[in-house]
Structures are given as structure tokens and as C-alpha cells.
Amino acid sequence: MMKNRMMIFFLILVVASSQLHADVTLKKVGRLGLRWIEDVCVYADYLFVAGYRGVRIFNLGNSDHFLTEIGHINMREGAGVDGISIQYPYVYITNWHIGFSIIDLRDFNHPEQIASGNEGGGRELFVKDGYLYSVGGSPGGFDIFDIHDMQQPRLIFEDYQNSAEQFSFTSTNYIYFANYYRGVDIWNVADVHNPYQAALLDLEARVRDVEIQGDYAYVANDTLGLRIFNITNPESPQERGHYDTPGTANHVYVSDTLAYVADGYNGLQIVNISDPKQPHLAGSYDPPNLSYRTDPSDPEKNIPFPGFTSCVYVHDPYVIIVERNRGDDYVYVLMPENLVPKPNYDLATPHNFTLHPNYPNPFNAQTTISYDLRGDVPVTICIYNVQGQRIRQWEYALQPAGSYTLVWDGTDQHHQPVASGVYLCELKIRYLSTSISMVLLR
């Protein structure tokens, strides 16, 4: 009996080990062809693609409307967008030359620019605790803006010596800059008015990107591949592991025990980092060649020209990569080959949110408004009078799927009683809405 138990235990260990180190095989589930793509990110069920003349927004949430374009954000002066950061309901976009803009995205059909900064042009930006951090602008540098008053951003720090174009923020108020020629530049920004360089990790080859997860920094180190550093002590990082990718490690995204490396002309390399000291290849994806060039030895013949995988972003279950082809760029949406896509409601279609009739109606003192959501979405509820004037509003940055009620007591936004009459209650989810009529009798 003991022998059988030991055998079962051994088999469990073998199965667990094989699952941990199982190869990752990705399949393409969608592709977009766009001009000059610089950055991608995902919020809820929407893919944001930054690049030529702005940001385009695509649906990721429903197979019937998969990758359907549902919105567009323009950069001022018709410029392109180099970097994007989302903290709904605000979208922060930047151009390396002309600066950044803050966009209110509560209405997907009519994004509204609420502020801009001319000094803080950059290639990447990040927002935390009321401050905007920007890096990679012209002529180069690192800027910090106070945006507690969003309509009047205020520059509070600038360093023109910083030549980084990518960076990663930690929860302990350290920023790790991918400083291209100089290595990994580590700054302490606990005091945003007086940040200082805490350490410089001098590396061979170019440092193109750095990603932080837990106690480790994952560095895309160009021809040297992926390098892993323990940053328990931010001012004295220690290298713990290294995986030499076949191409030029250009960008890295870490998700759980996998590091996804955009490896230039060698596509996407997926590295298992469950043991940072022994990273190993878990899978890869090489997009097909979609462009051609003239064969130097035969001008009448065209030969395939490989694209350059420049960027990767992971949003379970999707892996999203950008393939650059001389301006005719592509976004590939991938997912694990053995995963069957689960039914996923399009959260911006009328049949997936319901606004019920209020009760009682007509009413005198107060009435109850109830609604149902079939997904996690931002919600806005407005009440209008017959002249179309908004008199009351409730906003929720993100409400989980479920049923909700709220009570309206017949007052306006300043809690002053409104007159008897007919009122319209509108439930708005992203760029669609539904409404009901209510009658107030004093």
C-alpha cells in the first residue's frame, strides 16, 4: 500500500512539473493593419492602439464584433501618439515633440481634451497619486507634472540629462529607466519635488525596456536577450538569471511566471521565469511575412521581408504584439492554442445592460431606480428635465456585473428640490445609453 501511495505521489509531481513547464503555443485570433503603431494597451474589453494621428479603439469583448473600431482619440495639431496610459475615465497620451494631453473618455463618441502640457513631450508616461511622469521627449529628459488640478498641469521637476524612452514604476517609489546607452537608471521619487538618482546599472548592449514584478526587474537588453535582476535592495540590484533570445530583445511584458519578449526580427519569445535563476524558453510566435522587397540579385524578383516585433502586451487570455513593416504595421491578437474562447458579452450593446422602470411612478418623495449589468463596466446615470438640462448625475468608475438600485429623492446636484414634471433618467455605459421617463408630483 505504501509503495502504491509513493507511486501516486510521484505521478502527481510529474504531472504538476509538466504543467508548470508546458510549452506555450499561441494562435492568431485577429489582426489589424494600421499606419505607424507606437504603443498598445487594454482597458476592460477595449484595445487602444496609439500611433499615426491619434489613438484608435477596438472591441475585444465579443466574437460578433471582434476588433470592430468603436472610437478614436485625436492628438492636438494632428500629431501622432507615442505613448498612452489609462486610468479611467481619463486617458493620458503623449507625443515626443509637442507634449501630452489629458482626455476625458466617459463618452466614447466624443472624447474631450481637458488639459495639455507643452513642456512634457515624451514617448512614455505614467500617472500615480496625482502626478504625471513623462520620459523620452525632445530634446530628451524626464519630467514630473502635478496634475491634482487636471485643467492646469504644473511642471515641478525636469531633468534633460535622462535619455530613456521606457520606464517602469515600483510600489516603493522607485523608477527604473531603460536608458538605452547608459543601462538601467534607478531613481528615488518618494519626494516628487526632489527626486534623485539612486543607482545606475551599467549593462553591455542597449537597454530597450525594463519591467518590474515583485522583487525582480526584467530587462530587454537588445542582442543580449532577457536579463533578470533581484531588486530587493533597489540601490544595489543583483543579476539572478539570463536568457539569450535569438534576436534583439526590444520590449518585455511579465505576466505571472512568463516573460513575453518582443524580439525584433525573431518575433515573440516566451520565457518561463518561474525560477528566475534558470529561465528557459516556453514558446514563441513568429508572424508571417507580409511585406516584400526587391531581390538585390534579381531585380525582377521580390523576396519576403520580415517584420520587426516591437511591442507586446498581455491581457488574459490575449497576447497582443505589434509587428512593424516600414510604416505598414500590424497588431496581432493571439491566445493559447488549447484555450476555447468563452462566451464574452459585448459590454457596449443594449442587450447586455438593462434599465428597469422606476418604482413608484409617478412619485412624490422618492423613487427607486434599478438596473442590471452583465459585465464589469464604468457607469454613469443622469437625470434630465424636459428642457434637456442635466440636474443630477451619479458616476461609477467601474461596477462589477450584477443588479443595482439607487434612490432619487427629487433633488438636484446641490440637493435642492426640483419642480413637479416629467424627467428622463439615462443609464450610460461607455458610448451607448438607454433611458426611462419618470413623473414627479409634488
Average pLDDT for residues 83-111, to the nearest whole number? Answer: 85
Residue-range domain boundaries for the chain:
27-336, 350-440
Lowest-confidence region among 17-26, 101-110, 199-208, 367-376: 17-26
> Confidence band (pLDDT; 50, 70, 90) for 13?
very low
The x, y and z cell numbers of residue 15, run together, are: 504531472
Find the angle CA(237)-CA(241)-CA(243) to the nearest 5 degrees: 130
Give the C-alpha separation, 36 to 322, whole Å: 10
What whole-number percentage of the chain has pLDDT above 90? 45
**How high is the pLDDT of residue 441?**
93
Residues 6+ apart with CB under 8 A from 232: 215
Residue 42: pLDDT over 60: yes
> Confidence band (pLDDT; 50, 70, 90) for 122?
confident
The predicted model scores a pTM of 0.72
- Specify the amino acid at residue 149: D
Residue 48: pLDDT over 50: yes
> Confidence band (pLDDT; 50, 70, 90) for 69?
confident
> Confidence band (pLDDT; 50, 70, 90) for 432?
low
What whole-number percentage of the chain has pLDDT above 70? 84
Residue 1: pLDDT over 50: no
Residues 6+ apart with CB under 8 A from 6: none
Contact yes or no for 179/150 (Cβ under 8 A):
no
Architecture in CATH for domain 350-440 = Sandwich (2.60)
**How high is the pLDDT of residue 120?**
57
Q: Which residues of 222-257 are buried (b: 16+ CB within 10 A; e: fewer)?
A: bebbbbbbbbeebeebeebbbbebebbbbbbbbbee
**How high is the pLDDT of residue 80?**
85
Residues 6+ apart with CB under 8 A from 44: 61, 88, 347, 375, 376, 377, 378, 398
**How high is the pLDDT of residue 339?**
59
Condensed to tens digits (0 to 9), the pLDDT of residues 222-246 reads 999 999 999 999 989 999 999 999 9
> Confidence band (pLDDT; 50, 70, 90) for 298?
confident
Residue 219: pLDDT over 90: yes
Backbone angles phi, psi at 8, to 5 degrees: -65, -45
**How high is the pLDDT of residue 229?**
96
Give the C-alpha separation, 356 to 202, whole Å: 62
Give the C-alpha separation, 119 to 138, whole Å: 9
Q: Which residues of 174-191 are buried (b: 16+ CB within 10 A; e: fewer)?
A: bbbbbbbebbbbbbbbee
Average pLDDT for residues 260-281, to the nearest whole number? Answer: 95
Architecture in CATH for domain 27-336 = 7 Propeller (2.130)
What mean pLDDT value characterizes the chain? 83
